[in-house]
Amino acid sequence: MPRNSVSVKIGGPAGYGIKTTGQIFSKLCLREGLNVFDTIEYPSLIRGGHNVYYALAEQRKALSHHDGLDFLIALNTESVRIHRDELSKGAGILYDPDKLDLSKTEVEKSIHLYPVSINKLAIESTGKDIARNTVALGAMACILGFSLQSLNKTIREIFGVKSKDIADMNVKAATAGYDFAKKNFNEKFEHKIHSVKRINDKRLLITGNEAIALGAIAASCSFYAAYPMTPSSSILHYLAENAEETGMVVKHAEDEISVINMAIGSSYAGVRSMCATSGGGFALMNEGFGLAGITETPLVVAEVQRPGPATGLPTWHGQGDLQFVLHAAQGEFPRVIVAPGDPTECFYETFEAFNIADKFQLPVVVLSDKYLAESTFTIRNFETDKLKINRGKIASQADLSKLEGYKRYQFSKDGVSLRSIPGLKKGRFLANSDEHDEFGYSSEDAENAAKQMEKRMQKEKELLKYLPDPVLKGPKNAKITFVSWGSTKGAILEAMEILKAQGIETNLLQMKYLWPFKADVVKRILKDAKKLVLIEGNYNGQLGKLIRQETGVEIKKKILTYDGRPVSPERIVAEVR
């Protein structure tokens, strides 16, 4: 790990406040001028099981998790057993000796053990053992070199929105843990970190899902529907919490079929609309997705992946849905698939997804995954001054008044027809799931069917001109070219820095817009590469197959993960050395 850096895990059963503890720690690190990346792993259980919160704080950019671990708060024995092999030289374990007996547990001799009676201290300081996690946080903060004042200020900032009593209770618990560590642990800990002074600091902590939600708000999305499905649910939560302020209609529907049909209906009525789900929910949305395609109704769908098939691993990471969304719904119709790689891209690409949906009158999929959706990143504040909303070819009453017989699906050079909003005079049309003529009326005429198909598919040709080209990040003449998409971006960029320090130059072709596919541009980049390495979170190398299909280039070296866990920078480095 680089200097002035620490990686922490907080492990224990569900119901122990592990996520809250981690969020306070991350906020504390941000307050102290450090950059933070954190992520949480948890089973599909309400209580029990093994939950772990990982946080990396460092002076330079923190883009992903790493394999090493500098400090572990173990709230149960299982946390030590699972994570002890991850501990770096000189790392620390904080545990409750009244609950855990580590005398028979094998750990490296360099590991510092910090026994803290956290349950006892929680009861003594607050009268409740529920505050044990905050006691542990206070002790760790002291060992790592944070000030008690800064810790308690962060606690009040987070808990103050709930109530002053809850904030006071947690301040007492944190102070008890901090004072105990200060009194009993005088040895120098190797992984202490130091505050960094930043002038005009404009950074924030944000998850991918929060960034998608903010992108929708910035794009003036007026209707959002969803049925809760991990890991997409927090988009619903965020938008619902802020609906009164934004004016957005947020609907928790009864199922995913209702969700997508509601979103299509509201879009038909003229408002920007969005829905979100994961792979299993999107399977139910397929028929509705096709309805948006044939009726040429603008729609944005966030598909936040998790491993399948069926229920699969509902709370874990995977990128197995690329080929699924590429071919979702029967028949052929244009669609756009964009896969952001970090929260900054989640925000801007979600905003742009609404412009694309309106301009080209088609469905757009924002393809994310659990690791990006629920991990927290340190980013610069979004710059919204230059963002422009483009509603495309929407007819005004003046436009319609000039027409003699409005043709909603009129044949046009770019495949996009003038779109009317219900209620406008002379703008009535039929949005028909059957193949139809220019007015929207059902037609099985062969010539018309061919012309309507060609009209719709013309949009893909126009999109290839409109969408940005994929960009090669890093030196042009690098020894290794990584090819990937989505949340693997952070781990690859971290691996590139490690390899650079070892004298190996690398670059990255990040495929952000996955469809329509810019075959000529991609082929040219790949043909110039010295060595190609494909990195994906699925078994079959789905992006690799798409690239081969569209360009004829086969990437033979693959680093594929399909165990529910994201790839680490260390694994990438080890496999390309």
For residue 416, the one-letter residue type is V
* Burial call 347-367: b when 16+ CB within 10 Å, e when fewer: bbbbbbbbbbbbbbbbbbbbb
Rounded mean pLDDT, 515-524: 98
Residue 104 above 80 pLDDT? Answer: no
pLDDT of residue 199: 75
Quick one: how many helices (H) and strands (E) in the chain? 20, 20
Q: What is the pLDDT of residue 422?
A: 94
Contact between 423 and 394 under an 8 Å Cβ cutoff? The reply is no
Q: Which CATH class is domain 205-380?
A: alpha beta
Q: Give the CATH superfamily of 5-184.
A: Pyruvate-ferredoxin oxidoreductase, PFOR, domain III (3.40.920.10)
Q: What percent of the chain has pLDDT over 70?
A: 99
The structure's pTM equals 0.96
The H-assigned helical ranges of 327-445 are 343-360, 370-374, 397-401
Residue-wise pLDDT tens digits, 144-157: 999 999 999 999 99
Average pLDDT for the chain: 96
Which range among 24-28, 35-39, 84-88, 161-165 shows the weakest confidence by mean pLDDT? 161-165
What pLDDT is recorded for position 161?
79
So where are the chain's domains? 5-184, 205-380, 397-466, 472-576
Rounded-to-integer distance, Cα 252 and Cα 131, Å: 33
Residue 264 parent element (H or E): helix 256-268
- What would the pLDDT profile of 308-328 be if each residue is shown by its tens digit? 999 999 999 999 999 999 999
pLDDT of residue 334: 99
Query: Strand ranges (DSSP E) for 127-228?
Result: 203-207, 223-226
365 pLDDT band, cuts 50/70/90, is very high
Record: fold of 472-576: Rossmann fold (3.40.50)
Q: State the average pLDDT over residues 288-302.
A: 99
List, in sequence order, every residue forming a beta bridge with 55; answer none if it has no partner. 8, 38
Is the pLDDT at 49 greater than 50? The verdict is yes
pLDDT digits (tens, 9 = 90+) for 194-206: 999 887 788 999 9
Work out the burial of residue 180: count CB atoms within 10 Å of its CB; fewer than 13 is exposed, 13-18 middle, 19 or more buried: buried
Domains 205-380 and 472-576 share a fold: yes
Task: Please compute the mean of the pLDDT values over residues 514-532 and round it to a whole number.
Answer: 98
What is the percent of the chain with per-residue pLDDT over 90, rounded to a whole number? 93
